[in-house]
Structure 1
């Protein structure tokens, strides 16, 4: 069964990466949610996709140059707030697993420490998380720090490169853009021991085609279409 993964919550229905969007994803019966993290100026991990706040909020500036207090004064899509990763994990509370994408530089160490804390103190399991990134160096830091954390190699360019990096990093999964997938390279990934989680698939014809492939999950803005 191909798993339903909500992209930034349920981005097609509600403002991305907000608690309300994650609630919508849970209401739609997702197996997992995908989210993005940056380290802000005061050191906290915040759940936000872009490197600047300009597109999604009523503010301007780079996420890593703004403190959490400053970020919390901003409105996402006119009515929501930017959550921390702690707030999102406490909100999800193991109702599904979580794909944490390391977006900004320097996210590996604080993300690793936080996930370790949730496993150690809050009853979460390492299987409740996949940490993904396009940035090999961030994944390498996670791997070196704690090899128990499941890694996912993101790619928009090459399944072959993702498989190569995956082997080097002992990753659990590859996360290719759906346009890169063929029946053959999906089989190759499985034969090499990887799970395949593909993104961002919103159109019904693409969903139906990919559901025929040997993949594990589809990341969609509209998880109710899966």
Structure 2
């Protein structure tokens, strides 16, 4: 593992990414390679790339006019800070250690760091303006910084927020996050124009998956770390998994 983590990071052109994403069985680094490095940090994203992930996923919350890459409501679990994220000043937040000397990045810092090496799934963690702020940033990165829309996938549990994102940036693909089996199956995703459902591993229901397929939707499953489980999901036609250990999904796909 140590030798693997020292390998140079491969660079993929935007043409290579656009040609192959999202398609095939994807290894999506959950908050980067968070089984190996502090979650939602630049180090975690670099590690995911080195381990072969085709995509990475990270969380975004709005803190005033700033979009921060961070998952929890509170700082305690993943940093040396305490208290609620939104109750701390931006100056304080930016000085925290998020693990192994990493800091909490902004969305723009994270995108600049990833620099189109892999596809990016952005989860909208907060609501009340997060969608609009993220849409503004991603439009800039598409229009001015060489990214293409298919290098992004924006997801959320907040369907109203996701619908607002779709209204403001219709060219960028979206996915509905599900932690259960809706009564109308995958209809909610189709109704807002999503291209995929991101489904919790405990709710991989055959009827839901079949309904998503019938509507032309991809199905990605989170968060799957056991290699046997990854193999079973690939065998039943799931399109990819979010995993803390991206190399496990890469191994399963190459061994198939």
Do they superpose with TM above 0.5? yes
- 1:118 aligns to what SS in structure 2? helix
Find the residue that maps to 1:9 and give its secondary structure.
coil
Secondary structure of residue in 1 paired with 2:34: coil
Q: Is residue 4 from structure 1 mapped to residue 27 from structure 2 by the alignment?
A: yes
Contact 2:186 2:211 in 1 (8 A): no
Residue pairs, 1:107-146, within 5 angstroms: 107-146=130-169
Partner of 1:57: 79
Per mean C-alpha deviation after superposition, the further-off stretch among 76-85 and 87-96 is 76-85
Map of 1:165 onto structure 2: 188
Report the alpha carbon displacement of residue 73 of structure 1 after superposing the two structures with TM: 0.9
**TM-score, length-normalised on structure 1?**
0.94
| SS in structure 2 of the partner of residue 119 of structure 1 | helix
Measured after TM superposition, the shift of residue 127 of structure 1 is 0.3
Work out whether residues 57 and 76 of structure 1, in 8 Å CA contact, stay in contact via their aligned partners in 2. yes
Unaligned runs of 5+ residues in structure 2 are 1-23, 250-256
Which residue of 219, 224, 235 corresponds with 1:212? Answer: 235
After superposition, the C-alpha distances for 1:44-75 in whole angstroms (9 at most, x for unaligned) are 11101101112111112222333432211111
- Note the alpha carbon deviations across 1:23-54, whole angstroms, 9 max, x for none: 0001001110000000113x111101101112
Aligned in 2, Cα 1:102/1:162: closer, same or farther, shift over 3 Å? farther
What CA distance in whole angstroms lies between the structure 1 residues aligned with 2:236 and 2:174? 22
Task: Please report how far the alpha carbon of residue 159 of structure 1 lies from its aligned counterpart in structure 2 after TM superposition.
Answer: 5.3
Name the residue aligned to 2:106: 84
**Residues 187 and 214, structure 1, Cα contact 8 Å, conserved in 2:** no
Distance 2:122 2:154 in 1: 5
The answer to whether structure 1 residue 198 and structure 2 residue 216 are counterparts is no
Match of 1:66 in 2: 88
Aligned residue pairs total 225
Structure 1: distance between partners of 2:218 and 2:191: 15
